[in-house]
Structure 1
Amino acid sequence: MIILNATKFCIATFLSNLGDVIYSVVIAWYIADVLQSGFLMGAVLFSLGLSRFIAGLLCGPVIDRIGAKLFLWLSDMIRAIIVLVLAILLWDHTISFVILIMVSVLFGAIDAFYWSASESIKPRLVATEYLSRLNSQYFTVVRTTIILGPLIAAWMVESISIEHSLIAISILYVFSTFLILFIDSKNSHLENMNDNNDKTSYFSDLRLGFSFLNRQKMIFYLVITMFFVNIGANGVNVLFPFLAKNVSDDAKYLGYIYSSMSMGSLLTGLIFSVKSIHKVELKIIYLSFLLQATGIAALCFTQNFLIILIFVFVIGLITGFIGVLIPTFVQRSVPIHLLGRVNSIMMAISMLSTPVAQFIFGVSVDYFNIKYLFFIAGALGIVTSLSSLLINERKGTPRETVM
């Protein structure tokens, strides 16, 4: 039953994330091709990111109180309805600016609930010793949708029109909701711990999540470390197109770079999908951050495209490892009745680094040599991870909380 639950969860995740990726590409193409508005593109991305951040800070107590499974189901069902309505509107009209912004705000908020609920439900699906495997399978599924989604979206827009593409996306969400209904998340291997949530207010629950992070300094330091390291790591995604342009005017070189990164991440995910990580220490996470940042900084020292691809592949490997380590550490260290609150806060702070990185490095490209920017991105991660390593060694690594 436990293995079956995890399988249904991963398939539902695949369908839902595939819908997300295809939707993002289809809407981006619609704005660029039909509306032809760079301002609207920026406004849509900004509203999406802002609503995701705000909802991420606030959604945790609701997920802990009501249940992660319900919010997974609601998130996909609401998205299915929204996308279907957009398809119907497109048959007769051009979608207006206001509608696109409203949809972006809704999607951003729903993303926050869905991500937090996904992280919170995992410890209820498998025993603690199998958490790293489930996290690896989840990471692999998400990375696979990121690779396949744009290809499928491009084919759909060319072959069956934007309206029919949106209907297909809605169907993906509906299939995901169907699978979620049959997931048993009633703690088949854990005692039900609700921490008397029914006797407390929403705001006291919210304060409890923040106070837990404040008390657990090592987890708080991890969140801060993630924020600054991710600025460098996300900044690299802004720099890659310019790196490829320096090599050749052929767009396929950018594809090679992204493919190398994805293959590295996928390989790590596949390895740890069948091999459990029995002990996760903060020191290992910080060392992984350090290696990732060193790989990024090293990109400034080579002009050879083959060596660049090797470095990017290794960065992808380490990124995949980090993507498995962090959720496993948090799920083992945070009491299950607080996971929604803690995960949502961590997600909001971590995701805030993306627009910050995009702005800083996007503007900097116009003024600085791209080699220096790779070095700066890597140096930021190196300094941050080394500082966190020193703090961790001085204070001692906290033991994982037994749930």
Structure 2
Amino acid sequence: MIILNATKFCIATFLSNLGDVIYSVVIAWYIADVLQSGFLMGAVLFSLGLSRFIAGLLCGPVIDRIGAKLFLWLSDMIRTIIVLVLAILLWDHTISFVILIMVSVLFGAIDAFYWSASESIKPRLVATEYLSRLNSQYFTVVRTTIILGPLIAAWMVESISIEHSLIAISILYAFSTFLILFIDSKNSHLENINDNNDKTSYFSDLRLGFSFLNRQKMIFYLVITMFFVNIGANGVNVLFPFLAKNVSDDAKYLGYIYSSMSMGSLLTGLIFSVKSIHKVELKIIYLSFLLQATGIAALCFTQNFLIILIFVFVIGLITGFIGVLIPTFVQRSVPIHLLGRVNSIMMAISMLSTPVAQFIFGVSVDYFNIKYLFFIAGALGIVTSLSSLLINVRKGTPRETVM
């Protein structure tokens, strides 16, 4: 039953995330091709990111109180309806600026609930010793949708129109909604621990999540480390197109770079999908951050494209390893009745680093040589991870909570 639950969860995740990726590409193409508005593109992305951040900070107590499975189901159900309505509106009309902004705000908030609920439900699906496998499978599924989604979206837009593409996306969400109904998340392998008091207010529940992070200093330091390391790691994505341009005017070189990183991440995900990680220590996470940042900084020292691809592949490998380690550590260290709150706060702070990185490195590329920017991105990660590693060694690693 436990394996079947995890399988249903991963399939539902694949369908839902594939819908998300295809939707993002289709809407971006609609704005660029039909509306032809750079301002609208920026406004949609900004409203999406802002609503994700705000909802991410606030959604945790609700997920912990009501249940992660319900929010997974509601998220996909609401997205099914929204995308269907958009398809109907597009049939005879152009979608207005106001509607697109409203939809992006809704999608951003729904994403925050969905992602936080996905992380919170995992310990209820498998025993603790199998969490790293489930996290690896989840990571592999998400990375696969990121690779396949744009290809499918491009084919859809060219072959079956935007309206029919939106209908196909809604079908993906609907199938995911259906699968979630059959996931059993009743803690069959756990004690039914629930320290939530139904009489407590939403704000007291929210404060409890922040106070937990404040008390658990090592986890708090991890959140801060993630924020600064991610600025460098996300900044690299802004720099890659310019790196490819320096090599050749042929766009396929940018594809090679992204494919190399994706293959590295996928390989890590596949390895740990069948091999469990029995113990996760913060120092291993910080060392992984350090290796990732060193690989990024090393890109400034070579002009050979083959060596660049090797470095990027290794960065992808380490990024995949980090993507498995962090959720596994959090799920083992945080009491299950607080997972929604802690995950949502961590997710919101981590996501905030993306627009910060995009702005800083996007502006900087007009003023600085790209190889110096790779070094700066890597140096930021090296300094941050080394500092956190030294703090961790000095103060000791927190013990994992037994759930």
SS at 1:197 equivalent: coil
Q: Distance in 1 between matches of 2:342 and 2:196?
A: 17
- Could you tell me the TM-score, scaled by structure 2's length? 1.00
Moved over 2 A (4+): none
Task: Tell me if the contact between 1:143 and 1:265 (Cα under 8 Å) persists in the aligned partners.
Answer: yes
Cα distance, 1:86 vs structure 2:
0.2
Aligned with 2:191: secondary structure? coil
Structure 1 residue 23, shift from structure 2 partner: 0.1
Output the CA distance in 2 between the equivalents of 1:344 and 1:38: 31
Could you say what secondary structure the match of 1:173 adopts? helix
Q: Kindly provide the CA deviation profile for residues 50-104 of structure 1, in whole angstroms up to 9, marking residues without a partner as x.
A: 0000000000000000000000000000000000000000001000000000000
Following superposition, the deviation at residue 203 of structure 1 comes to 0.3
Contact 1:65–1:194 under 8 Å retained in 2: no
2: CA distance between counterparts of 1:196 and 1:361? 43
- 1:307-331 deviations in Å (ceiling 9; x for gaps): 0000000000000000000000000
Aligned length: 403
Q: Deviations over 1:317-350 (max 9, x none)?
A: 0000000000000000000000000000000000
* Corresponding position of 2:25: 25
* Unaligned residue ranges in structure 1 (runs of 5+): none
Q: 1:137 & 1:180 partners in 2: Cα distance?
A: 17
Structure 2 counterpart of 1:205: 205
Where in structure 2 are the equivalents of 1:134-145 lying within 5 Å?
134-145=134-145
The Cα of 1:193 is off from its aligned counterpart by 2.0
SS in 2 for 1:199: coil
2:270 maps to: 270
8 Å contact from structure 2 (residues 23, 166) kept in 1: yes
Q: CA–CA distance in 2 between the matches of 1:358 and 1:208?
A: 32
How far apart, CA to CA, are the structure 1 residues paired with 2:296 and 2:376?
A: 9
User: How far apart, in 2, do the equivalents of 1:356 and 1:98 lie?
Assistant: 25
- Matched with 1:61 is 61
Show CA shifts across 1:163-198 (max 9, x none).
000000000000000000000000010122221331
Counterpart position of 2:44: 44
Contact 1:197 1:205 in 2 (8 A): no
Secondary structure, in 3 states, of the residue corresponding to 2:185?
coil
SS where residue 198 of structure 2 aligns? Answer: helix
CA contact (8 A) 1:290 1:382 kept: yes
CA contact (8 A) 1:231 1:357 kept: yes
Residues 121-167 of structure 1 show CA distances to partners (whole Å, capped at 9, x for unaligned) of: 00000000000000000000000000000000000000000000000
Mapped contact 2:285–2:325 kept (Cα < 8 A): yes
Provide the C-alpha distance between the structure 2 equivalents of 1:196 and 1:141, rounded to a whole number of angstroms: 32
C-alpha contact (below 8 Å) 1:225/1:385 kept by paired residues: yes
Q: What TM-score does the superposition give when structure 1 sets the normalisation length?
A: 1.00
How far apart, in 2, do the equivalents of 1:111 and 1:205 lie? Answer: 21
Report if the CA contact (8 A) 2:196-2:337 is conserved: no
Stretches of structure 2 that go unaligned for 5 or more consecutive residues are none
Per the TM alignment, residue 399 of structure 1 is displaced from its structure 2 partner at its CA by: 1.1
Alpha-carbon distance between aligned partners in 2 of 1:158 and 1:191, rounded to the nearest angstrom: 52
Alignment of 1:374-389 (within 5 A): 374-389=374-389
Task: Quote the Cα distance in structure 2 between the aligned partners of 1:102 and 1:192.
Answer: 39
Report the Cα distance in structure 2 between the residues aligned to 1:198 and 1:375, rounded to whole angstroms. 51
- 2:108 corresponds in structure 1 to 108
**1:267-301 deviation per Cα after TM superposition (whole angstroms, max 9, x unaligned):** 00000000000000000000000000000000000
What displacement does 1:371 show?
0.3
1:53–1:349 contact (8 Å) kept in structure 2 = yes
- The C-alpha deviation readout for 1:32-62, integer Å capped at 9, x for no partner, is 0000000000000000000000000000000
Structure 1 position 375, deviation (Å): 0.2
Match of residue 189 from structure 1:
189
Cα RMSD between the aligned structures? 0.4
Structure 1 residue 305 displacement after superposition: 0.2
Q: Which residue of 2 aligns with 1:148?
A: 148
CA contact (8 A) 2:283 2:392 kept: yes
Distance 2:196 2:39 in 1: 47
Is the CA contact (8 Å cut-off) linking 1:68 and 1:117 kept in structure 2? yes
Whole-angstrom CA distance in 2 between matches of 1:398 and 1:43: 42
Task: Measure the CA separation in 2 of the matches of 1:385 and 1:247.
Answer: 31
SS of match in other structure, 1:182: coil
Alpha carbons 1:292, 1:319 under 8 Å: kept = yes
Offset at 1:253?
0.2
What is the rounded CA distance, in whole Å, between the counterparts of 2:188 and 2:134 in structure 1? 16
1:218 alignment partner, SS class: helix
Is the contact made by 2:65 and 2:196 (CA closer than 8 Å) also made in structure 1? no
Displacement after TM superposition at 1:199 (Å): 2.0
State the 1:209 CA deviation: 0.1
What is the alpha-carbon distance in structure 2 between the residues aligned to residue 399 and residue 78 of structure 1? 39
Q: Aligned partners of 1:372, 1:95: CA distance in 2, in Å?
A: 42
Matches within 5 A, 1:254-403: 254-403=254-403
Preserved CA contact (<8 Å) 2:136 2:270: yes
TM superposition shift of 1:107: 0.2
State, as a whole percentage, how many aligned pairs show the same letter.
Answer: 99
Q: What is the CA–CA distance in structure 2 between the aligned matches of 1:192 and 1:262, rounded to whole Å?
A: 39
Return the offset for 1:389: 0.3
| In structure 2, distance between residues paired with 1:61 and 1:193 | 16
